[in-house]
Each structure stands twice: as structure tokens, then as C-alpha cells.
Structure 1
């Protein structure tokens, strides 16, 4: 069951890039609506069943959910901006250092990663390089984009780690409903400051927003948030690495884009690295918490 959910989640987040590329709306606007709609879709059933749910949240639950939401909103802002300043390949590669950031954060908290875990992470990141080329730009503009993408990866790691803490006592629907709603409010402020259109969009843009919300938000993010209750944040973040070849394959099939030369080799390396990490985590307990 976990494997099936992981596959659906990977396909969901993989569809995000191609759908957003084909949607005639600013990226921040798309990010706002996917979180707003996702928050309503996940939170409404919880509030209808128990209107006093939010009042019963503990301080820890509010703290971790709030931290995850802030990190998620800032992650979107950094990554969206980075792809406009540097190459998509560099931005993608740097953001996907999320798994490395998680390993580093855990190391600083006294959880020294096993050698096998570091080996698997290295193999997977080699797969990322094989696909994207890791073409870091040299101009001041590109360097700014690279730094923002690097920050986006760190923020994604914070989002995942904080989410794993919240999911210890919160249901998937309650956590995601709260997290997406808070992130949507923050993204709304960003949209207003950046003067991004929120309502006056072409009809086809709304179909794109709906598609990315269902695929990437409700199926992708929500499934991975669900898995955080039983799987370690590092393993979940490494699963998300499969978004890179997944997005490339979907963009090639639906948008006619040329696949990066190293797509299949990179896919094999990411899967091999993930297998090493999962086997290592299996010896010490898959949750790794």
C-alpha cells in the first residue's frame, strides 16, 4: 500500500512542472490557488465532522503546522523566482538538494548519518546531476537565482521535517488542511505585494490551476504528508527526487519537449540511491524518528 501511494504521489508532483508550464497564469498566482483550494478541500470535511477541532490543537501541533506552512509558502516563492533568474536545470538541481539538507539538519541535531545512507544519497544526487546537468550560472542574475533555489531546497527540507513532527499526532486531513490554508494566506500577501492577478485569468488558466491542484497538491503533497507518519523525512524527500525524471518524461510526452540526455541514466541512479537508503533505514527502523 505504501509503494502504491508513493507511486501516485510521485506522479502527482511530477505533473506539477509540465502543468504549470502550460498554464497561462503567474506562478505565484498558481501557487496561491493550489494551496487555497487544497486547504478548503482537506480542511472542510474535518471542520464539518468536528467544528471545534482547531480549538483542541495543542501548542506543539500549532507550532509544527505553522512552521511547515511558512516554509512551504517561502519555498514556492524562492523556487518560482529562481527559475526566472537562472536556468531551469540549475534551479531544479539546487532545489532537489532537499534530501541533503534534511541529512545535514539531522546531523546537526546529533543524528550522524550512516555511511550507507550517505552513499545512497550521493548516488541519487548523481542521478539529479545526470538529468539536469547542474548548470549553475555565472552572472550576478543567475547567481541570485541559484541562491534562491538553494534556499528553496532548504525550506522544502524544513517543511518536510516540521510536517513529520505535526503528523505524529495530527491526521493527514487536519494537518494538510491547516498547513495549506496558512500557506495560502502567506502566498496571498505575496501576490498582492507583487501585484499578481488573482481573479482575472483566462478560462484555460483556471483548468490548469484545477489540474495542478488535484495532481500536485491533493495527490502529490498530501500523499507525501500522509507517508510522513510512517516513513522517515529523508526517505520521503528522496522519493521526491523522482519528480525530476518524472516531470521530464511527462513534459516530453504531453508538451513535446526534448528529454534531457541523461534522463534514463539519472532515473536509474536515483532509484538505486533510494534503494540503498530504504535498505539502510529498514535496518534501523523505516521511520527514522
Structure 2
């Protein structure tokens, strides 16, 4: 197997246990706000020394590129951090109310909300070739909701929170388009993680205070190192050898990976309706990506 494809597979395996690890933290007594804040804070602490070192062939340390940000870019980065904080709060809270598979499948619908928000804010129309996929994904999401309403597993509140998490992440990506124009990726990630951790810390007095146990902290460390840093780093490394299309489609394996991890760790067996709904959602997202990328190739 091509080593780059192996990196992609390992990246999917790592990001797919994000949901299960959050659930581990919740089961050991931590609350969503504390888990989210510690995940961002630990990620920032790990990245900081790396960003302050000038590597061979570089004229400056990567963190220096943050100086080139304009006031407007800083404001956009703060707004992006607000959306990222809200994403973590809503999505992680959803894991306390619905199954891991349902939560991750629904939060992965964020590309549809990016398209919807782009249409509203930027007047960018959704590609015609992608509309069928969007409709199929929405049908899948409705099936997941029906599963919860029928009381088969989970709660409709958890499903709605997961969808809210997808919307918040869509807002985050749109803000990033304006904020990260003259800054390298990793220093900008450091900025986002730091700002998001501070924002989440401000919410703690209103969301049950700081609640963290040693076992939950181990799960958070796994989130920061395994999912946030190593998982996404593998995708970044793979992008030098494989196309962004491959990575985009590979990421759709996250709900499947989350389901498998949850079956092993928590004995969460999806009901037939939930399995069908999640599968239809993923198929819809695949069709949506194929349609969007096909339209991009036509324009080129």
C-alpha cells in the first residue's frame, strides 16, 4: 500500500475515536465545557514550543507570521474561535444524550451547512450536481431523528445539538476563510486553540464550573494528542502525496470508525433505523462531495 494512503487511514482511525473519548470523559465525571477547554488548552500548549523554533531553511519561527495579521483578520479569528467553542459545547453535550454514531454522523453534515451559509452570506449557489447528495443526506438525518423520536435509542435533543454543532463548525470554517490569508496553518491553529480555550474558560461559571477527574483528563489528553494534533497532522502530511479529494472522502469514514469504537468500548449497537439513517447520511455526503468536486473540475 502507498504509505500516504496508510497515513490517511491512520488519520481516520485517530479522529474517529474523538466521539468515544469524549464519552469516556463524560462517563468519568467531566462536563462538556471542561473537556472542550482542556482539549484546546493542551493542544495549544503542545503546539507553542514547536511554533517558536525556527527550522532549517526558514528565515523566522512560524509563530512570527501572526504579526502579519491585520486587525480585521484578528477580529475574524476571534469570531472563528467563538464558533469553534460553540461547536465543541453543542456537539460534546449531544454525546451525553444520543448515540455516538448518530452524533458523529450528524455533526459530519457540516459541508451542507457551509454551502447553505455561503449561499446566504456570500451569495454562492450550491452546485446543481451536489443538490441530490444534499437531499439524500437530509433524508438520512431525518431518519436518525425518527429513530430518537420513536424512543429506539438516544434522544432528539442530542440529535438537534449535534446538528447545531455542525452549523457552528460551518460558521467557523467561513470565518477562517477571511482570517487566515497571510498566516501559516499551524501558527493560526495555535492562535485558534488558545482563543477558543480562553472563551470556553469564560463559560465555565455558567455551565457547571470546572469538572475534571484524572481518568477524564487521560481521555482529554488522548483527544488533544491523538485526535487534534496527530490525526489532523497525518492528513496534512498525506496532502503532499494524495489529493484533497481523497482526504475529504476518507474523513467520511469518521462516523463508521466512531460506531466501531463505540461498539467495542460501550457496547453501543445501532438500531436498524439508526444504522440506515447514518448510512444514508454518509452516502448523501459522498454524493454531495462528488457533485461539488465535479463542478470544480468543469470550471477548470
TM-score if structure 2 supplies the norm length?
0.73
Report the alpha carbon displacement of residue 239 of structure 1 after superposing the two structures with TM. Answer: 6.3
With over 3 angstroms needed to count, the CA separation of the structure-2 counterparts of 1:29 and 1:218, relative to structure 1, is same
Does the 8 Å CA contact 1:47/1:53 hold for their aligned counterparts? no
Report the alpha carbon displacement of residue 114 of structure 1 after superposing the two structures with TM. Answer: 2.2
Does the 8 Å CA contact 1:8/1:219 hold for their aligned counterparts? no
Does the 8 Å CA contact 2:84/2:168 hold for their aligned counterparts? yes
With over 3 angstroms needed to count, the CA separation of the structure-2 counterparts of 1:137 and 1:104, relative to structure 1, is farther
Question: What stretches of structure 2 of length at least 5 have no aligned partner?
Answer: 55-60
TM-score if structure 1 supplies the norm length?
0.76
From 193, 198, 220, the equivalent of 1:180 is 193
| More displaced stretch, 70-79 vs 239-248 | 239-248
From 207, 211, 219, the equivalent of 2:222 is 211
From 85, 93, 103, the equivalent of 1:73 is 85
Task: State the Cα deviation string for residues 114-139 of structure 1 (Å, max 9, x = none).
Answer: 2220112233344455567552599x
Report the alpha carbon displacement of residue 240 of structure 1 after superposing the two structures with TM. Answer: 5.2
From 272, 278, 283, the equivalent of 2:289 is 278
Partner of 1:11 in structure 2? 13
Task: State the Cα deviation string for residues 186-241 of structure 1 (Å, max 9, x = none).
Answer: 1111124434336x623x2222111121232214456678999x859xx95x8655
Task: State the Cα deviation string for residues 242-262 of structure 1 (Å, max 9, x = none).
Answer: 433321111112333223425
- 2-structure distance, mates of 1:226, 1:170: 18
Partner of 1:58 in structure 2? 70
- 2-structure distance, mates of 1:113, 1:187: 33
User: When the two structures are aligned, how many residues end up with a matched partner?
Assistant: 278
Larger radius of gyration: 2
Partner of 1:163 in structure 2? 176
Listed as ranges, the matches of 1:142-157 within 5 Å are: 148-157=161-170
Residues 1:98 and 2:110 aligned together:
yes
Partner of 2:148 in structure 1? 135
- 2-structure distance, mates of 1:3, 1:69: 31
- 2-structure distance, mates of 1:6, 1:174: 23
Question: What stretches of structure 1 of length at least 5 have no aligned partner?
Answer: none
With over 3 angstroms needed to count, the CA separation of the structure-2 counterparts of 1:73 and 1:226, relative to structure 1, is farther
Task: State the Cα deviation string for residues 160-182 of structure 1 (Å, max 9, x = none).
Answer: 22234444443221121111111
With over 3 angstroms needed to count, the CA separation of the structure-2 counterparts of 1:135 and 1:276, relative to structure 1, is same
Partner of 1:26 in structure 2? 31
